[in-house]
Structure 1
């Protein structure tokens, strides 16, 4: 029987951290005092056993640590200087690998660091404060463990760090990484080298499985992993450590190691894993949960494992309270708890009529999935229906892919050909996992949209809690188990239509693809012309599915920025696709490559001035002129070279503007005097940089803004919205309305939002 008091330690610690991190300071203090005082009173009255004061003490301890850390960060000299936007000189050690992320004005290099010395505003301080470094793409990329000195502008941070650091000059290296970081980097490079000759997806998945190095994984494949509930394989997790250290222990026993030396070897294996995967908070969290899993595999594993889980959660939160609001921490802790607390009960129910190995294979992923479902839904807005089956099918390949991938990397350090030979089965195993992810994602109803509202998440959580006592009753009988499984399969194989979608008489749909553009002009039943494809293949594919589009005679990509082209692979998913056209300016190169990979060749150039018809759609490209569109200084060349289309569908006249900026808009006003349209797709997601005179002169009754919720660009600009509204346009936005459909209503224009 599991010791729930030990689990209570973890729950108490987690609650204490959340109280401080989520509630305002004084409210959090009052809440903690009320809980502690209330528990003490219950113990005095003997309503609550004194042993349950442990969780209350854990709550108070972690709350105190969290409050102390918040105070230290808030009062750090870095935080004070950041409020003034000061330019300072910093000495800092890089504590994470550099990640490249897309910024508004180009790629950014992002890494965490610890600042030990800062000079600015005539003073100097010795300190130890965490920061996030955000440097331009041309800044030299430092290795983890490097100590450097640089000048930088400090910016206030909202995270658990003292400031954001924006370097203003090249860094000066004053300390190279320690030898263990060099050794870890060598292992990571060797793992990649051992599978370098394999299929492109397999050679990226193996490093992800071994050490969480998923930087080169194809985004479309990553989406398939998310849809099928296999995302945990792409990040450093407790599973990685359990497999690696478990294999080391088995090997040690085979060669005769016994007793305490096995514990020493396991500890060394855990330390080596943490160093190789990078000693970041997520890796330390994964190591802790992996250790819990190892304990749970031993004698009396369920009882010892739950005690270890409670202590691990308490220890992690005492060291880093900010983990309490980390999705990765929540998923790891809940999955481990589900496997320890639920899986044995459900396994015992299944054992009544199935072999034990089948019962264990089904109960473990089922328990983990049920425990994690509310958090996954909060992050993605979806509930995966194929996750259990996908994890069940992928499970046999995870161990060989992970263990042999690491073994190939280690042996490759000695002799590269041997590493390639040993890692070959790892690549084959990765290929199987990839096939499972793609198969699962292709199931008609692989996941259902659930929503992220508080009510939706409370209902889902209640259903998951209800399944805890209900599942054993269903699983112990073959009839009910097979009936439920058959019902689930039937639901997955039939794609349910979106109620009331697409709306009757629709002529244009603006897809909710986040911060990007994805539009569809209705060419006929199940046929549409696609203009831009957003940043995410899964979102674009889902929108086309909702519109029931199976034939795409033409794809026009207005320009090659990621938020317009990275989702183009989703257009090709189970559809017939004709020509693909874009602008003459082949920049940026990454976007061009994305289109070439998806289309299987170079895109054509939209024919300037030519009028063409595709079913019910009539199109004319009115911008850019061949070789034109550079724009004014300070404007984006690719934006100004966007293909601009005038379309007509069922008598509705539509202007699709890509991301053209003010100078290009002024040129269009000059080239197309007197242009009038019914529907305007507002340029550049409603950026404030517009030629308002031209936009308001178009006479559009409907203005569409394709924009991501909570984006950090300030889109759409309030002044732009006010000007369009004053000119008589009704403004519709994807961040507020989801998919937006323009429809013909009694000879006029109507609009229907799906959100």
Structure 2
């Protein structure tokens, strides 16, 4: 696996499995201490060595099995590489649930049975990941025909190819049990979403793991508050199903065999209903093994069950090791089995027993899952434990009653009544997530990766030691020191990014390229007025930029086009905007966004060439698109292009995501006149550029707004070479962070939050 984060996830999972396997052998010396004499001690040592040798052999056997599985998948993956970067037609079998992505596509895992050039796909058999337009019938078991651009993936991903679909059709709908499950889910989602917000969109996620009705704002709040696991069907849901069946069968007088058989059948039906995601598979297999052990009259310890489940699933499907959901599910289960009791005893020394009991479970999960989350997520929740403490009591109620409402679809009055009953706890969880995520310092931003994971892991270990350990004063003192240092660092960072944020930036900046990841957000400052061109993909990142630059209100907001990497952060400025210039509107999502801005007081304007205005002492002009575009009616090539100059702002050209074809038309229009001081490079520095335009602009500085990690290779080496050949200095947000430009006696000054790497 090339990505160190996915490699680290694999290490976490194997560590869980092997430590659980090793647990009995680690306990042997304590058991042997009761024996007498050297003979007993020698026997214990011999058994320990044998167990250790067995563990090594088992590890090697597992590694060999994984190698066989991975090697067997390589021919199919290799056959997909020829489609990289091409437009393809694929016939696929859907093999997972579908979730709505930030690009308004339905994303799901699938098995491709035909793939190739449009109109001539050839037979294949390989795992792919598909993003299709939002169509009905994209359910597990359905067969779809998708046309779109294909991109190869890294070896750490099970799907050898990602298809960004532009068109899709259902060739054959799901049949059998999958059709029944899809219809049942769809009926429940429709019934739930007829209820009022908050809570309506969240209820299907709590009951059956269907998150398509969860808004982007609520999804972000669930992540920030550490409650997103409630909409991921896992062990808790499986436990509820098994316990309910055991209880009902026992009430009817059924014996142990009947209870186990019916519970297994119910569990299998539940997995089909919610679709077999990695965390669901782990939980279901573990529950099935536990029930079989009960059937055999030999109940096993939870650690042994977890070990067998994780090891077996990783051997059967090694790509589970790169699944964050699977890793978090396994880690959280291990945490509850190993840490919850010690934490309960430790917390019980400082607080009442009921409160200690309530805190021990979310705290155990948080300290173990925190380092795993830091591998792939740029934020750590600081309100996770109290938010879970408040929301957790409502989760099983919403889950059980919601599931009953789903299953009662054949009795509409009963289903409506149950759905309404489940709505109240769902609304409670919704409000808990929203309120806790809005608290000051609810999250802390980290650079995801192994270093962040090690840092969070060290802090987590220090917290556990302080709570649990009583004897070693030196160890407790070191742990307290680590916690104090972490709190001081976090407090200092909050001050710098909060009340003292403006002290970290020069006062006379004119242009600010915000560090918002893979997206665009550029501030323009003249006198007492500010313009914002695009909002980036993340509201929190934009808020940080506004705070650091001391911007409280945006007088002019330009939405160049409606890709989410340019407008996803718009909620951060709702109610703070005067005028809005926007490009062509084609979708309901775009209309809803503009309506929200207008309802909060903004004045909307369709932007087209010839429109102009003032920003205090500066003048701005729209150069593109034409009023009635024919060639490029929407999308990247219809991006609003603005030039601005004067009032302390150097002459600047902002190109949105304009492609090479539209750049040529813009150049031919004669609207670009003279030299510019600054150009915002189109489309994050992609290779879709027109060299003649940049040669005509001859800018001194080029701003490239780009994420540190992106799958597109932005900025492209060809684009950087093009800028260099024109004598233009490229400034990139992925290397410099927030970039500020200003004028001092006609000299262009540059300031950034990070020093650029050498070379």
Which TM bucket (shorter chain)? 0.7 to 0.9
State whether residues 205 and 217 of structure 1, in contact with CA within 8 Å, keep that contact through their aligned partners in structure 2: yes
Whole-angstrom distance in 1 between the partners of 2:12 and 2:665 = 67
Instruction: Please say if 1:552 is aligned against 2:557.
Output: no
SS of corresponding position for 1:424: helix
Cα distance in 2, alignment partners of residues 202 and 267 from structure 1: 31
Q: Secondary structure at the match of 2:373?
A: helix
Q: Which residue of 2 aligns with 1:33?
A: none
1:523-575: CA deviations, max 9, x gaps? Answer: 568x7422111223233233323334322223221222322222211223xx6
Cα deviations across residues 570-612 of structure 1 (Å, max 9, x unaligned)?
223xx633232313x2134433333334543883224864554
Q: CA deviation at 1:188?
A: 0.9
Distance 2:140 2:175 in 1: 9
2:380–2:444 CA contact under 8 A, matched in 1:
yes
Q: In the alignment, which residue of structure 1 is the partner of 2:403?
A: 406
Distance (Å, rounded) in 2 between the aligned partners of 1:474 and 1:594: 55
Structure 1 match to 2:496: 497
Paired residue for 2:51?
A: 51
| Residues 388 and 743 of structure 1: CA distance in aligned 2, closer, same or farther (over 3 Å) | farther
> 1:734: which partner in 2?
733
TM alignment of 1:411-426, pairs within 5 A: 411=408, 413-426=409-422
Q: Note the alpha carbon deviations across 1:665-700, whole angstroms, 9 max, x for none.
A: 345444335333222111222232333223233242
CA distance in 2, matches of 1:445, 1:348: 29
Q: TM-score, normalised to structure 1's length?
A: 0.80
Partner of 1:695: 694
Matched, 1:522 2:525: yes
| Residue in structure 1 matched with residue 265 of structure 2 by the alignment | 268
Q: 1:748 to 1:92 in 2, by over 3 A?
A: closer
Q: Shift of residue 473 of structure 1? A: 4.8
Q: Partner residue of 2:642?
A: 644
Cα distance in 2 between the residues matched to 1:432 and 1:522: 42
How big is the shift at 1:275?
0.8
Confirm or deny: 8 A CA contact 2:362 2:388 kept in the other structure: yes
The correspondence for 2:370, drawn from 347, 360, 373, is 373
Are 1:742 and 1:750, in contact at CA under 8 Å, matched by a contact in 2? yes
| Structure 1: 5+ residue stretches without partners | 1-6, 17-42
Checking the alignment, whether the CA contact within 8 Å between 2:260 and 2:291 is kept in structure 1 is no
**Deviation, structure 1 residue 215:** 1.8
1:302, 1:362 → 2: CA distance?
A: 28
Q: Deviations over 1:102-124 (max 9, x none)?
A: 77xx95765312649999xx999
Q: In structure 2, how many angstroms separate the alpha carbons of the residues matched to 1:684 and 1:343?
A: 49
- Partners of 2:453 and 2:213 lie apart in 1 by 33
2:510, 2:649 within 8 Å by CA — same for their partners in 1? no
Structure 2 partner of 1:442: 438
Query: Which residue pairs with 1:657 in the alignment?
Result: 655
Q: Higher mean Cα deviation, 506-515 or 450-459?
A: 450-459
Q: Alignment partner for residue 233 of structure 1, among 227, 230, 234?
A: 230
Q: Is the alpha carbon distance of 1:736 and 1:286 closer, same or farther for their aligned partners in structure 2, counting shifts above 3 Å?
A: farther
Quote the Cα distance in structure 2 between the aligned partners of 1:420 and 1:476.
58
1:509 aligns with 2:512: yes
Once the two structures are overlaid, the 10-residue window that deviates more, 184-193 or 436-445, is: 184-193
**Contact 1:246–1:294 at 8 Å: present in 2 too?**
no
Q: How many residues align?
A: 700
Give 1:344 shift: 0.7
Query: Is this contact kept in 2: 1:513–1:534, CA < 8 A?
Result: yes
Q: CA RMSD in A?
A: 4.5
2:32 corresponds to:
none
1:724 maps to what in 2?
723
Q: What CA distance in whole angstroms lies between the structure 1 residues aligned with 2:147 and 2:612?
A: 55
Q: 2:623 — aligned with what? A: 623
Q: 2:109 aligns with which of 111, 114, 136?
A: 111
Structure 1 630/540 Cα, relative in aligned 2: closer, same or farther at 3 Å?
farther
Question: Is the 1:532–1:557 contact (alpha carbons within 8 Å) kept by the matching residues of 2?
Answer: yes
C-alpha change, 1:550 and 1:286, in structure 2 (3 Å) is farther
Q: Distance in 2 between matches of 1:293 and 1:555?
A: 58
Partner of 1:37: none
| Secondary structure class of the residue paired with 2:579 | strand
SS of residue in 2 equivalent to 1:520: strand
Identify which of 306, 313, 325 aligns with 2:322: 325
Q: Distance in 2 between matches of 1:729 and 1:393?
A: 55
Question: Paired residue for 1:466, among 462, 469, 475?
Answer: 462
1:507, distance to aligned residue in structure 2 (A): 1.9
Q: TM-score, normalised by structure 2?
A: 0.80
Contact 1:560–1:587 (CA<8 Å) still a contact in 2?
no
Offset, 1:460: 2.6
Contact 1:114 1:130 in 2 (8 A): yes
In structure 2, the partner of 1:26 is none
* Partner Cα separation in structure 2 for residue 598 and residue 61 of structure 1: 60
Q: Is the 8 A contact 1:95 1:280 kept in 2?
A: no
Q: 1:312 to 1:180 in 2, by over 3 A?
A: same
Q: Is the 8 A contact 1:238 1:288 kept in 2?
A: no
- 1:704 Cα offset (Å): 0.4
1:568 to 567, 570, 577: 570
> Please, which runs of 5 or more residues in structure 2 have no aligned partner?
1-10, 21-42, 474-478, 755-759
Bigger CA drift: 394-403 or 133-142?
133-142
For the 8 Å contact 1:518–1:533, the answer to whether it is kept is yes
